[in-house]
Amino acid sequence: MKTFTSMEEAFKWWLTTIYPTLPAEVKKGKLTYAWRDFTYNRGISHSRMKEILSEFGEIEVLTLIKFTPK
C-alpha cells in the first residue's frame, strides 16, 4: 500500500509507474485525455483522478482538518 499527501501526488505516481506499463489498447480514450490534461496542466478534477485510480486499485481518500481556537 502506498500513501500520498494529495490526489495530484497519487495520480502523478500512477502516471509514471502504472500508465506506461498498460497495453496500447487500454491507453486509448479517457486515459489518454487524462494523461494529457494532467501533464500539460489543462485541468483535471479530483473526481476524475479518483475514478481512474479506482479502476486499477483500491483507493481511500481521507481528509483531515484540524482547528485550534485562539
Going by pLDDT thresholds of 50, 70 and 90, the confidence category of residue 65 is: confident
- Residues 18-39, buried b or exposed e (16+ Cβ, 10 A)? ebeeeeeeeeeeebeebbeebe
pTM of the model: 0.85
Q: Give the span between the Cα atoms of 44 and 52, in whole angstroms.
A: 11
Region 64-69 average pLDDT: 87
Long-range contacts for 60-65 (Cβ within 8 Å, ≥24 apart)? 61/7
pLDDT tens, position by position, 19-42: 999 999 998 899 999 999 999 999
- Domains of the chain, by residue range, sit at 7-56
Q: Give the span between the Cα atoms of 51 and 21, in whole angstroms.
A: 19
For residue 1, what pLDDT is reported? 85
